[in-house]
Amino acid sequence: MTDKIALWLAAIVTVLVLADIFLNHGYALLFLGREIADLVQYVAFWR
């Protein structure tokens, strides 16, 4: 991955996170965080 692609991806992720925070009060980030935590617990069970 080149530096140019990495910077574009970082900019896109930053814009999406800020849009969620300002437009949706961060509920999508909270949902994703909870689902990832559940996934980690599920995967740790199968370890």
Structural domain boundaries, residue 25: 3-45
Residue 17 contacts by C-beta under 8 Å, 6 or more apart in sequence?
A: 29
Tens digit of pLDDT per residue, the chain (47 long)? 899 999 999 999 999 999 999 999 999 999 999 999 999 999 998 77
Angle subtended at Cα 39 by Cα 18 and Cα 19, rounded to the nearest 5 degrees:
10
Comparing CA positions, the residue from 32, 34, 9, 29 lying closest to residue 18 is 29
Per-residue pLDDT, 39? 95
Q: Taking each helix axis as running N to C, give the angle between helix 27-45 and helix 3-24, from 0 to 180 degrees, rounded to the nearest 10.
A: 110
In contact, 26 and 20? CB cutoff 8 Å: yes
Domain count, the chain: 1
